[in-house]
């Protein structure tokens, strides 16, 4: 894991599945976010979140992820929560997939 969080997110049954099931259920845009996290953001969910929020605030940003920033922010928070809850790195698991 690259990042820590002060508190685990509220109960979400979608997060309480084995990693292989979680990965299978990801949408294609979510898989892209995982890949971009490693390729452009040095494996940091926080850096990608900051970049998306900067884009929303019309500040300089690294990469135009999509026109649906709200969707991407929610997906990143969910994937980050999954990693924290299960102590896994989705990028590493995706490479094995």
Q: Which two tokens stand for residue 77?
A: 């928070």
Q: Identify whether 80 is part of a domain.
A: yes
Q: Which two tokens stand for residue 86?
A: 């299960």
> Measured between alpha carbons, how far apart are the two ends of the chain, in Å?
18
Domain that residue 45 falls in: 18-96
Query: Number of folded domains in the chain?
Result: 1
Q: Identify whether 10 is part of a domain.
A: no
**Cα–Cα distance measured from residue 49 to residue 41, given in angstroms and rounded to the nearest whole number:** 10
Q: Identify whether 52 is part of a domain.
A: yes
Q: Identify whether 37 is part of a domain.
A: yes
**Cα–Cα distance measured from residue 20 to residue 56, given in angstroms and rounded to the nearest whole number:** 32
Q: Identify whether 7 is part of a domain.
A: no
pLDDT tens string, the chain, 97 residues long: the values are: 444 444 445 668 889 999 999 999 999 999 999 999 999 999 999 999 998 888 888 776 666 655 678 888 999 999 999 999 999 999 999 887 6
**Cα–Cα distance measured from residue 25 to residue 4, given in angstroms and rounded to the nearest whole number:** 24
């Amino acid at each position: 894991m690259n990042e820590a969080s002060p508190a685990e997110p509220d109960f979400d049954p979608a997060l309480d599945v084995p990693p292989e099931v979680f990965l299978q259920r990801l949408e294609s845009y979510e898989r892209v976010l995982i890949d971009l996290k490693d390729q452009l953001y040095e494996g940091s969910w926080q850096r990608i979140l900051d970049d998306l929020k900067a884009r929303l605030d019309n500040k300089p940003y690294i990469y135009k992820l999509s026109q649906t920033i709200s969707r991407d922010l929610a997906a990143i928070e969910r994937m980050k929560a999954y990693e924290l809850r299960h102590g896994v790195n989705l990028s590493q698991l995706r490479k094995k997939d």
